[in-house]
Structure 1
Amino acid sequence: MSKLCVSLGLAVRQLREAQGWSQEALAEKAQLNRSYVGEVERGKTIPSLITLDKLASALGLKISDLLLHCERISGLQAVYKLNLAAIAC
């Protein structure tokens, strides 16, 4: 499982939850299968550009905004790992 997939999944989940939607509601709005949305959120699959566009549009975003949120999450994960490593030393 790549870090990018995990970060993207967390971004989709956070944005979905911020809307107060279930996975099923997001899947319906994005015209995707609910179980597929779950796989994306868990970082188990790599969505295509078309799927990213569907997810972003359903969330009221551009793909670039969705990826920016993903990058922020990835950056936070790196910061937390560094802090944990510093404490462990």
Structure 2
Amino acid sequence: MFLDNLSTSVLKLCDTRRLSYEAASERCDLSSRYFGDIARGKTAPTILTLEKLCVGFALTPNDLLIPSEVWSEMAFREPMPVTHIRCFRYLSGVTGFPVCPQCGKTMEREYQPYCDRCGQCLDWDNFFKATIILPQK
């Protein structure tokens, strides 16, 4: 059961974070072959390897080992970059508001840590490069 839970967690982490085995193994300081064996449930990792997995994915051992039906909720913990600004006509000009990358809804404020509609954790580091969505005529 331990190997199944860990394998499922590792596979879902790679999927939700869009990581290849190679990229994930680098984050965890493991060889890609050994990481692949863990992901497929072919080998039982040592405690030190489990620690490397936890550090690499920034999770606790419980997050990796205890099966959870709320995996989609865990995905919301990973910050998503805000990459779009939706513009609207306002009085004599145009004003813009950020767009949530998860739900696509227009947010009322910039630089809030979470979307006030869906709860997605937000990353504002590259907001200055956001794509502007102009109002339709």
Fold-level similarity (TM above 0.5): yes
Amino acid aligned to 1:61 = L
Name the structure 2 match of 1:12.
10
Shift of 1:46: 0.2
Give the number of the structure whose residues are more often helix, by fraction: 1
CA contact (8 A) 1:23 1:38 kept: yes
Q: Which runs of 5+ in 2 are unaligned?
A: 70-137
Residue in 2 that maps onto 1:32: 30
Stretches (4+) displaced over 6 A? none
Alpha-carbon separation, structure 1, partners of 2:68 and 2:63? 11
1:39-58 matches, cutoff 5 A: 39-58=37-56
Q: Which stretch shifts more, 28-37 or 56-65?
A: 56-65
Instruction: Measure, in 1, the Cα distance between the counterparts of 2:7 and 2:46.
Output: 13
Partner of 2:58: 60
Q: Report the CA distance between 1:7 and its aligned residue.
A: 2.4
Q: In terms of Rg, which structure is larger? A: 2
* Aligned-partner residue type, residue 24 of structure 1: E
Distance across 2 between alignment mates of 1:60 and 1:9:
17
**Greater RCO (CA < 8 Å, at least 6 residues apart):** 1
| Secondary structure at the counterpart of residue 68 of structure 2 | helix
User: How many residues were matched structurally?
Assistant: 69
Say whether residues 1:22 and 2:17 are aligned partners.
no
Separation (CA, whole Å) in 1 of partners of 2:5 and 2:31: 20
Identity %: 33
